[in-house]
Amino acid sequence: MGVVWMKRTILAVAVILGLIWAMADGPATAQSPRRGGTLRVGLNADPPNMDPHQSIAAVDRQVFQNLYDKLVDVNQDLEIIPMLATSWTITNAGKTYTFKLRPNIVFHDGTPFNAEAVKYNFERMLDRALASPRRSEIALVDRVTVVDPLTVQIDLEGAFSPFLSVLSDRAGMMVSPAAARRLGRDFAREPVGTGPYKFVEKRPQERIVLERFDRHWDRNAGFLERIIYRPFTDGQARLANLRAGELDIIDQVEPTDVPELKKDARVKLLEREGLGWQGMWINVTAPPFNNRALRQALNASIDRRTLVRVVFGETATPGNGPFPPGLLGSDAGPNGRIPERNLELARAKLREGGQPSGFAFTLKIVPGRVAQQQAQVIQSMAGEAGIRVNIEILEFGALLSQLTTQRFEASLLGWSGRPDPDGNIYGFFVTGGGLNNSAYSNPRVDAMLGAGRILTTAELRRRAYADILNVLNEDLPYIFLYWPKEYKTMSPKLAGFVHISDGMMRFRNVWLNP
Amino acid sequence: MTRYIARRLLLTIPVLFLVSLIVFALINLIPGDPALLFVGGEAGKEAVEALRKQMGLDRPMAVRYLFWLGRVVRGDLGKSVRDGRPVLDVLLLKLPVTVELAVVALTVAWTIAIPAGVLAAWKRQTAVDYTATTVALAGISIPNFWLGIMLIYLFAVNLRWLPPSGYIEPWIDPARNLKLMIMPATVLGTALAALVMRLLRSSMLEVLGTEFIRTAQAKGLSDRIVIVKHALKNAMIPVATVMGLQLGGLLGGAVITETIFAVPGVGRLAIESILTRDYPMVQGVVLFSATAIVFVNFTVDVLYSALDPRIRLVEEKA
């Protein structure tokens, strides 16, 4: 009797343990990464330049996320997290940053990553001969000192609160000093970083191939064998390729495709608030818009909510400033307060501006359905107040030239956005700013913009931006209209993808299910 | 004959020179600053100016052209402004793709067009003729970009018979290479076929009305021999010119088709270089396209004499 009881107990325990083991293993297996496979990515353009110190196109950054490591990165909440730097201290009233670097890291060509390498990278970005677009981003860097092989100290000319955010993008991407010294500008054709994937080949307008780097420091990264990026400038073709199973993920979709994709079980659509803003540049240095009342008249005639509903449906949020939801400053002053359309005010402003029967101006736009629709809506809204809008379509290169030399009256152009609010406002409205197409100059705003990048507490910065936006909302060098949402469309087989508002596709921790 | 060929070859040089000069002037006159497009507004006006100097854009246009010409004569087409790649290397990469697409598209086009044209002329004003002519009209009228997307949705997304787009070298995967060529070649081929078919039809009708054809028929030769051996050869002369132009044109790239089907050919290269104001690349592409067209036309001219002995190159006799 005792033996039988013991056998039954053992059997029962075994069965229970077996069940627990099976249940514990089941869901875990479905979630654990699979190694291998080739990820096929569709991009909206062919990335021109693989050197982060020379690159300006946003689409280059997509490839960089996996080819390079940065000193720091951002997470889904846009907080700064460690990457090549494991920790940092900020001292000397915000002017000195001391970074502790991760040990045992090598570049794809075997060169060790250390403080010397970091110093070299900064010197390269600051070198006038290279004319790097990063130079203006890190212009405040005064001196980079190697404290020890794994500690580097960066001294700035003045406090700069967006500094870490800047280092989470191209300015913080580390290139191999050996390769960069050897190749100079040609480094763009043979890029060498420390990322989980190394460069294999780039065929213009055809494909960019990356392959897993087996000596990468992060054991929890690099599950894929290979990543292939392919450019598809035509949005319909890009989406068709995803649907046909030829691509696993694409970087952009047309707003009109979104409602249908949300219901399509064959693809996975992720949606988030974006970081960018869109609206109209206004040239304040020449007629008609050198007259502030007329700018205010135009602003009052626009119904942002209707504009967004008609052109974008649910794929954008009406906005009145440069800080989309989720970004510090989104509740600063008038940023989130969408003004109601007010034709009475518009007409009053017209009278104040000496044009009681209205005036005419030319709105320059890039080709494309979205820009045209927006322009037409604005044209019809402004028309009701007596403001006649002529729409002119220009190729992008030509438009950019005209904007930077103030040979325009108004133009629809926005900004892709950055995780730190300074990146969304400073260069656009400071006197002489490289992105200040309006040629707007207001010393009070300059001072407050300067304050915004020196102050370190979120609350104080928010207040500075609120003050700035109150002024900008009156002066209107730019009429903010909406904040586009950020979408990523992918095959359901892609697992582990974390969607971040900057729109960058980070593949280090993803894998492909069969 | 050889003197004719030699002279024609020599004449190509001034033509190419003129084309390159005109395009150089045009691309430089388009508004848009290559340095600004390269470096972006964020870098600041100083960096843009520095880059302009580095790109040599501060020198007068004539000087820049002469420098470019000097290098071309030595076989150096310069470097792409975007990433420093030698222009010649990029062109050589694209060349096989463009040639393959052109050859497949024209094969599709002419294989349909020539029999269709002959049939339409032979059976003129019957149902065969009307059908062929209507289909031809549709082929010319349907825009490439619409047809392309429709084919992708039908054959790639819904039926999954064909891959939607891209390119793989034929020596890596010949089967997939051909499958990828089918849709773009069809899209390009329809418009080309239509034109050749209509031209051949009217040319055939003209020839079929001549006396020597009546003689051949009176001699009791079968319809087939009359049409193919006698009429077609003569009818092909004006059509050959057009076919030559079509080949030359396709060698310059087919921008819309290449964009929709993600074929990395010379067409997409051309449009991208223009949009980014990559002057050396644009010049290289134009030079290449112009050379292709000039040589194809030259070849067609020489082949004329094979088609029609009457067109013995006049120079010889004089």
Tens-digit pLDDT profile for residues A464-509: 999 999 999 999 999 999 999 999 999 999 999 999 999 999 999 9
Interface A-B, measured as beta-carbon pairs within 8 A, has a size of 138
Q: Do B41 and A434 touch (CB under 8 A)?
A: yes
Give me the residue from A133, A234, A396 closest to B259, CB to CB. Answer: A234
The two structure tokens encoding residue B65? 């052209």
Predicted TM-score of the model (pTM): 0.85
Say what the pLDDT of residue A25 is: 44
Which residues in A lie closer than 8 A to residue B39 (C-beta atoms)? 56, 131, 133
pLDDT of residue B1: 64
pLDDT for A29 equals: 46
Confidence of residue B298 (pLDDT cuts 50, 70, 90): confident
Query: What is the distance between the alpha carbons of residues A149 and A114, in angstroms, rounded to a whole number?
Result: 6
Chain A residues in contact with B164 by the CB 8 A cut-off are: 237, 240-241, 244, 246
Which is higher by pLDDT, A167 or B128?
A167
On whether ipTM exceeds 0.85, the answer is no
> pLDDT of chain A along its 514 residues, tens only?
556 666 666 666 655 665 555 554 444 345 688 999 999 999 999 998 899 998 888 899 999 999 999 999 999 999 999 999 999 999 999 999 999 999 999 999 999 999 999 999 999 999 988 888 898 889 999 999 999 999 999 999 999 999 999 999 999 999 999 999 999 988 999 999 999 999 999 988 899 999 999 999 998 899 999 999 999 988 888 999 999 999 999 999 988 999 999 999 999 999 999 999 999 999 999 999 999 999 999 999 999 999 999 999 999 999 999 999 989 999 999 999 999 999 999 999 999 999 999 999 999 999 988 999 999 999 999 999 999 999 999 988 889 889 989 999 999 999 999 999 999 999 999 998 889 999 999 999 999 999 999 998 899 999 999 999 999 999 999 999 999 999 999 999 999 999 999 999 999 999 999 8
Residue B124 — very low, low, confident or very high, per pLDDT cuts 50/70/90? confident
Q: Who's near A206: CB < 8 A, 6+ residues apart?
A: A230, A231, B167, B262, B264
Instruction: Measure CB to CB from residue B156 to each of A133, A204, A240 and give the nearest one.
Output: A240
Cα A79 from Cα A326, distance rounded (Å): 11
Please tell me the distance from the alpha carbon of residue A375 to that of residue B37, in angstroms, as a whole number.
Answer: 24
Cβ of B41 within 8 Å of Cβ of A245? The answer is: no
* Mean pLDDT of chain B, nearest integer: 85
Tell me how close the Cα of B91 comes to any Cα of chain A, in angstroms: 10
- Chain B residues within 8 A of A246 when measuring between CB atoms: 156, 163-166
What CA–CA distance (Å, rounded) separates A105 from A215? Answer: 8
Cβ <8 Å between A131 and B165: no
Q: Helix B144-151 crosses helix B174-208 at what angle (to 10 degrees)? A: 140
Q: Which of B157, B260, B269, B279 to probe the A interface (max A CBs under 10 A)?
A: B157
Q: From the CA of A104, how many Å to the nearest CA of chain B? A: 32
**pLDDT at residue number A21:** 53
Contacting residues of B for A186, CB less than 8 Å apart? 84
* Predicted confidence band of residue B313 (pLDDT cuts 50, 70, 90): low
Name the pLDDT band for B318 (thresholds 50, 70, 90).
very low
Chain B hits for A417, Cβ within 8 Å: none
Nearest by CB to residue B277, choosing from A185, A189, A397, is A397
Q: What is the pLDDT of residue A220?
A: 87
Q: Do A401 and B31 touch (CB under 8 A)?
A: yes
Q: Counting Cβ atoms within 10 Å, is residue A21 exposed (0-12), middle (13-18) or buried (19+)?
A: exposed
Nearest to A48 among B32, B262, B276 (CB): B276
Q: Contact, B289 vs B266, CB < 8 A?
A: yes
For residue A403 the two structure tokens come to 């904007």
Cβ–Cβ contact B95 with A under 8 A:
no
A234-271 pLDDT, tens digit each:
888 899 999 999 999 999 998 899 999 999 999 999 99
The per-residue pLDDT for range A312-362, each reduced to its tens digit, is: 999 999 999 999 998 999 999 999 999 999 999 999 999 999 999 999 999
DSSP for A390-435, written as a single string: EEEE--HHHHHHHHHTT--SEEE--B---SSGGGGTHHHHSTT-TT
Q: Mind telling me how many Å the CA of A249 is from chain B's nearest CA?
A: 15
Q: Longest Cα pair distance anywhere in chain B, in angstroms? A: 85
Residues whose CB falls within 8 Å of the CB of residue A351, separated by 6 or more in sequence, listed in order: none
pLDDT of the residue at A27: 42
Q: Which residues of A touch B276 (CB under 8 A)?
A: 48, 397
pLDDT, tens digit, 9 for 90 and up, residues B213-266:
888 888 888 888 888 877 888 888 888 888 988 998 898 888 889 988 989 999
Which whole number is the average pLDDT over B153-169? 88
Choose among B93, B167, B260: nearest Cβ to A234: B260
For chain B, percent of residues with pLDDT exceeding 90: 19
| 3-class state of residue B203 by DSSP | helix
> Which residues of chain A are at the B interface, by a Cβ-Cβ cutoff of 8 Å?
46, 48-50, 56, 128, 131-133, 135-137, 185-186, 188-189, 203-206, 230-234, 236-237, 240-241, 243-246, 395-398, 400-402, 404, 427, 434-435, 437
Q: DSSP readout, B80-120? A: -TTT--BHHHHHHHHHHHHHHHHHHHHHHHHHHHHHHHHHH
* Segment B183-197 mean pLDDT: 91
Predicted confidence at residue B274, as pLDDT, reads: 86
The Cα-based distances of A483 to A157, A315, A448 in angstroms read 34, 9, 24
Q: Are B34 and B278 in contact (CB under 8 A)?
A: yes
CB contact under 8 A, A246 and B165: yes
